[in-house]
Structure 1
Amino acid sequence: MNQRRIPPRPVDDWTEEVDEAFSVLRAHVPGGQAAAPGPATRPQSNILGIYAWHPDFIRGWMPFSNHLRHSTLSDRVREMAIIRTTWLGFGEYEWAQHVRMSRAGGYLTDAEIDALSEGPDAAEWSAPDAAIVRAVDEQYGAKNIADATWSELEAQFSRAQLLDFVFTVGTYDMHCTAFNVLGLELDAGMTGFPEGHRRTP
Structure 2
Amino acid sequence: VLSVIRELKGSPSFYMNPISQYLKLGEKGLDINSVNLEDFEGPIKDFIKEREFIFNLRATLMRHKDLFLRWGLFANQVFVHSDIPRREKEIIILRIAWLSQSEYEWEHHVAGSKQAKLFSDDVINRIKQGPDAEGWDSFDASLVRAVDELYAKNCMSDSTWKILSGRFKTNQLIEILFIVGYYNLLALTMNSLGAQVEGMYKTNQK
TM-score normalised to the size of structure 2?
Answer: 0.78
Structure-1 separation of matches of 2:193 and 2:124: 26
Match of 2:58 in 1: 48
Structure-2 separation of matches of 1:180 and 1:16: 24
> Offset at 1:173?
1.0
> Offset at 1:155?
1.0
Unpaired runs of 5+ residues, structure 2, are 1-29
> Offset at 1:12?
3.9
Counterpart pick for 2:137 among 121, 126, 129: 126
Q: 1:8·1:50 contact (CA, 8 Å) conserved in 2? A: no
Structure-2 separation of matches of 1:178 and 1:8: 22
Match of 2:77 in 1: 67
Match of 1:91 in 2: 102
Match of 2:7 in 1: none
Q: Deviations over 1:160-197 (max 9, x none)?
A: 11111110011111111111111111111112521xxx
In the alignment, does 2:116 pair up with 1:116?
Answer: no
Structure-2 separation of matches of 1:102 and 1:37: 26
Give, as a single letter, the amino acid of the residue that structure 1 aligns with 2:173: L
The root-mean-square deviation of aligned C-alpha atoms, in Å, is: 2.3
> Offset at 1:72?
0.2
Structure-1 separation of matches of 2:103 and 2:175: 22
Give, as a single letter, the amino acid of the residue that structure 1 aligns with 2:175: D
Structure-2 separation of matches of 1:119 and 1:18: 45
In the alignment, does 2:147 pair up with 1:136?
Answer: yes
Structure-2 separation of matches of 1:109 and 1:155: 26
Match of 2:199 in 1: 188
Q: Deviations over 1:93-151 (max 9, x none)?
A: 00100000000011222211110000001112101110000001000111111111111
Secondary structure, counterpart of 1:41 in structure 2: coil
TM-score normalised to the size of structure 1?
Answer: 0.79
Comparing both structures, which one devotes a greater share of its residues to helix?
Answer: 2
Structure-1 separation of matches of 2:200 and 2:147: 28
Match of 2:37 in 1: 14
Structure-1 separation of matches of 2:114 and 2:42: 30
In the alignment, does 2:49 pair up with 1:39?
Answer: yes
In the alignment, does 2:184 pair up with 1:176?
Answer: no
Unpaired runs of 5+ residues, structure 1, are 1-6, 23-35, 195-201
Residues 75 and 18 (structure 1), Cα distance of their counterparts in 2 relative to 1, 3 Å cut: farther
Q: 1:47·1:184 contact (CA, 8 Å) conserved in 2? A: yes
Structure-2 separation of matches of 1:104 and 1:81: 17
Percent of counterpart pairs with the same letter?
Answer: 29
